[in-house]
Structure 1
Amino acid sequence: MKLYNIKDHSEVVSFAQAVRQGLGRNQGLFFPEEIVPFDDVDALLDLPFVERSGKILRHLIGDEIPNLEELVANAFAFGAPLAKVDDRTYALELFHGPTLAFKDFGARFMAQCLSALASRGDGGKITILTATSGDTGAAVAHAFYNLPNVDVVILYPEGKISNLQEKLFCTLGGNIRTVAVKAAFDDCQALVKAAFDDPEVRDGIGLNSANSINISRLLAQVCYYFEAVAQLPAEKRNSVVFSVPSGNFGDLTAGLIAMALGLKVRKFITATNVNDTVPRFLATGEWDPHPTQATLSNAMDVSRPNNWPRVTELFSVKGWDLGNLGYGRLTDAETEEAMRELQAKGYTSEPHGTIAWKVLDSSLQDGDTGVFLCTASPAKFKENVDRILGIDLPLPEALSSRADMKVLSVPMAADFAELKKFLLNRK
């Protein structure tokens, strides 16, 4: 597989190089040189999830990793069930992995890839540096925990993720270090980018990133879009509308790649909270990020989404009309009301999935089949879900076992000099 740097097309790398580097020159994102559609998607949909996912990733990546199918089986050790909400709407539940969030798919596949590359001599010690607005941190931490020759540093906005989200990844210790940054998520992302631009840091500690900017994470997420359609009745597969709760826009990018591979999708909808840079851009044509606001759907509290350049690149390469991309946004008050509406239909969801459902519900046309992505377990947001819905959600063991553990995070200002010192002084 060959990929080019969106900001500098002269930089072309292999899949292995892209996984190792994370970012290209000038903080450019890597993008596949070609995405060849499958000849027979229907036959692909007849396969079991893990076998199908191995074929999808082999088709995309090629022969660089001989035991790729084994890595996929190790990474995707859990399912992505489709739950029927009503006659035309389904919830794709992506929270059945070890950290109860969709990012388990991408993080675990990336960890498997890096481990495989290291075992064949494709690089020594590495440091994963990533920023999280909630779920990435836990998925990355658990995927890389105790992995040989890998240190992990995770930045997150102090006080702006749920208590249970924090406990899930800030209590591990070992090769996992967590930093509570006294700023917003966008500031955390800026610190990560600054580290990649500093040769002393980048080269000195073998810097890599596990955000959705890393191509291995992104490609892994392509697979569950096929799984969603495969679980639909055959007669409902020809007019599918996906609604994707969007923060950094990696999940939407993965869905669009699935469509480029030949998956039949009538429309994609991006659903955001009040951090609505992309919906406003789609409505007005003006890119005008506002200061990030804290919301109930904290994983979507992103005003400068990293993956948006990949979305526009794909639309350009494929000759698609960006005007066909649906969009919508909800305030916190609207999100709470939508959670109650969805609960009345018999389905309990947390804020992120709820926003995707509500925007989808107001967009479906006659004959459409709607699928909204549920990116996290409601239990990860138990305090708000209980308050809004008047219920008492039980905690899964993955959360209850860590609820009373001590948070090991280091507090830090949004200051790169301070972060650089912290990274280089690893004992």
Structure 2
Amino acid sequence: MRYMSTRGHADRKQFCEILLEGLAPDGGLYLPESYPQISAIDLAKLRGVWNTQGYAALAFEVLSLYIDDIPAQDLRELCLKTYTKDCFGTSEIVPIKALKTDAAPGAEVSLEALSNGPTLAFKDMAMQLLGNLFEYELARRNAELNILGATSGDTGSAAEYAMRGKKGVRVFMTSPLGRMSPFQQAQMFSLLDENIHNIAIEGVFDDCQDIVKAVSNDLEFKRKYKIGTVNSINWARLLAQVVYYFAGYFQATHNDSQKVSFCVPSGNFGNVCAGHVARMMGLPIDQLVVATNENDVLDEFFRTGVYRVRGTADTHETSSPSMDISKASNFERFVFDLLQRDASQTKNLFHDQLNQKGQFDLGSNPLFANAKSKFGFASGKSTHTDRLKTIQETYANNHIMIDTHTADGLKVAVPLAKPGIPMLVLETALPIKFAATLVEALGKEPDRPPKFEGIEALPKRVMVLPQSAAAVKEYIASHCN
């Protein structure tokens, strides 16, 4: 298996090379040269693995289609080490639960629970594996890695909890100053481990993400300080997320002739891009529904073909803050496939046109119709009023509290659910992470796991820096000696 850049760089690399690298040298994102195809026989085999051996074994089977430079037994052990009941709370790891909703008669809507890991967010599903992969590969190379990341809320804590204490790894995590919930901030900033560094940037998430890309594109600095990434621009993280689409499918269906749809709360497009990869492999997915909040850059694209990045002043601060994003870094992977893997056209759109105009328009391109007809995408938007109503109705009808992002997904999913095709809404976090909005909606606080009692009052360590790649590079350099 070899990996290529969406922008056409000549290099072809193996998995463990791009695991530690992040962005390609030309600023593009890595994708496999072709997606492994799942035949009917393969799908039946994977269902049998799920039914008899569970999530860790399923993860090994899916990951081994993409990873051929880690011995099979080692990869199997890494999956078994990662996906345990102790870590994720249930033997299913990602259980589904049917909901009572206002969907059309015969349409079934369920939640797929992805947030039972150490930081109560779906990011743990990939990040726990990534931490073990990093430690394994760095030990093989007798090397070190300095991870630079950007978070709008959940990636940061998931990465830091996965990497804390890992040999040979430091984490430098940027986040937008004052734009995360108090619980999210406390989860990150209360970690005092020597290898964890929190950096609050005076700006919005997109500014943090731009800094990460700018540092990654400085190849001299990247090599000197061994910079890697855990954001979903890292293919390994996105690949780990592909597994739970298969697990959701096997739970929601009785046989392999059935189709399912998934609705995914989306800001950076990484989570739903994993669903796109699963669909490209042959998993029988009908719709991939992209749910946005008021920052609706992705919904606008799927409705019109226009991808229009918003500036800092136009990025809304919302009650589903992890999706307060207007520059979806993983979106390039899908557009590359949409354009029939035309790397020069992809580079023109994401490097030239976005830098010059802040937008591009594929609405008149005949290939744009394939976003829906060939790739199965649909989209919708949710507002603060919508999510309050959805939280209230879900609790009234099911006695279940959902977080604000999951509420965005459920609001968009229900009217698009089709009779006979299960619709799975991917849960993104537990509601305690966004307690203020739950109190606003329901008049009471969500349950808080005992290990997080009093977390907001713990001592915190965080460095505030300006919106500057140079300032972040200076900070990294000063802490790598």
Structure 2 counterpart of 1:264:
284
Instruction: Give 1:43 deviation, angstroms.
Output: 2.5
> Contact 1:46–1:230 at 8 Å: present in 2 too?
no
Residues 276-330 of structure 1: per-residue CA shift (max 9 Å, x gap): 1111112122221223211111111110000001112234459991034100011
Distance of 2:442 and 2:71 partners within structure 1? 47
Letter in 1 for 2:292: T
Distance of 1:65 and 1:129 partners within structure 2? 28
Instruction: Give 1:369 deviation, angstroms.
Output: 1.2
Equivalent of residue 129 in structure 1, options 148, 151, 160: 148
Number of positions where the alignment pairs a residue of Structure 1 with one of Structure 2:
426
Equivalent of residue 169 in structure 2, options 132, 141, 150: 150
Question: What's the TM-score once normalised by structure 2's chain length?
Answer: 0.85
> Contact 2:9–2:26 at 8 Å: present in 1 too?
no
Residues 341-395 of structure 1: per-residue CA shift (max 9 Å, x gap): 2222213111111111111101112222110000101111112212211123221
Question: What's the TM-score once normalised by structure 1's chain length?
Answer: 0.96
Structure 2 counterpart of 1:336:
388
Letter in 2 for 1:333: T
> Contact 1:95–1:376 at 8 Å: present in 2 too?
yes
SS of corresponding position for 2:455: coil
Structure 1 counterpart of 2:419:
366
Is 1:5 aligned with 2:5?
Answer: yes
Letter in 1 for 2:456: A
- The alpha-carbon distance between structure 1 residues 348 and 92, as it changes in their structure 2 partners (threshold 3 A), is same
Distance of 1:398 and 1:49 partners within structure 2? 25
- The alpha-carbon distance between structure 1 residues 236 and 35, as it changes in their structure 2 partners (threshold 3 A), is closer
Distance of 2:48 and 2:99 partners within structure 1? 23
Instruction: Give 1:65 deviation, angstroms.
Output: 4.1
Residue range with higher mean Cα deviation, 38-47 or 104-113: 38-47
**Alignment of structure 1 residues 11-410 onto 2, 5 Å:** 11-39=11-39, 40-47=42-49, 48-66=54-72, 67-77=74-84, 78=88, 79-86=93-100, 88-121=108-141, 124-173=143-192, 174-234=194-254, 238-290=258-310, 291-317=314-340, 321-323=370-372, 324-346=376-398, 347-400=400-453, 402-410=455-463
Instruction: Give 1:62 deviation, angstroms.
Output: 2.3
Instruction: Give 1:220 deviation, angstroms.
Output: 0.4
Runs (5+) with no aligned partner, structure 1:
none
Letter in 2 for 1:241: S
Q: Cα RMSD over matched residues?
A: 1.8
Letter in 2 for 1:280: E
Instruction: Give 1:418 deviation, angstroms.
Output: 1.6
Instruction: Give 1:11 deviation, angstroms.
Output: 2.3
Residues 108-149 of structure 1: per-residue CA shift (max 9 Å, x gap): 11111111111211x612100000000000110011001111
Instruction: Give 1:230 deviation, angstroms.
Output: 1.5
Structure 1 counterpart of 2:464:
411
Distance of 1:298 and 1:392 partners within structure 2? 18
Distance of 1:209 and 1:108 partners within structure 2? 14
Instruction: Give 1:163 deviation, angstroms.
Output: 0.7
Distance of 1:235 and 1:389 partners within structure 2? 39
Residues 253-278 of structure 1: per-residue CA shift (max 9 Å, x gap): 11111112221111110000111111
Instruction: Give 1:216 deviation, angstroms.
Output: 0.9
- The alpha-carbon distance between structure 1 residues 237 and 228, as it changes in their structure 2 partners (threshold 3 A), is farther
Percent identical:
29
> Contact 2:261–2:423 at 8 Å: present in 1 too?
yes
SS of corresponding position for 2:20: helix
> Contact 1:168–1:402 at 8 Å: present in 2 too?
yes
Structure 1 counterpart of 2:355:
none
Distance of 1:38 and 1:88 partners within structure 2? 26
Instruction: Give 1:237 deviation, angstroms.
Output: 7.0
Letter in 2 for 1:80: V
Distance of 1:196 and 1:63 partners within structure 2? 24
- The alpha-carbon distance between structure 1 residues 36 and 416, as it changes in their structure 2 partners (threshold 3 A), is closer
Runs of 4+ in 1 over 6 A off after TM superposition: none
Distance of 1:60 and 1:71 partners within structure 2? 15
Residue range with higher mean Cα deviation, 227-236 or 18-27: 227-236
- The alpha-carbon distance between structure 1 residues 278 and 392, as it changes in their structure 2 partners (threshold 3 A), is closer
Distance of 1:321 and 1:176 partners within structure 2? 43
Runs (5+) with no aligned partner, structure 2:
101-106, 342-366
- The alpha-carbon distance between structure 1 residues 236 and 30, as it changes in their structure 2 partners (threshold 3 A), is closer
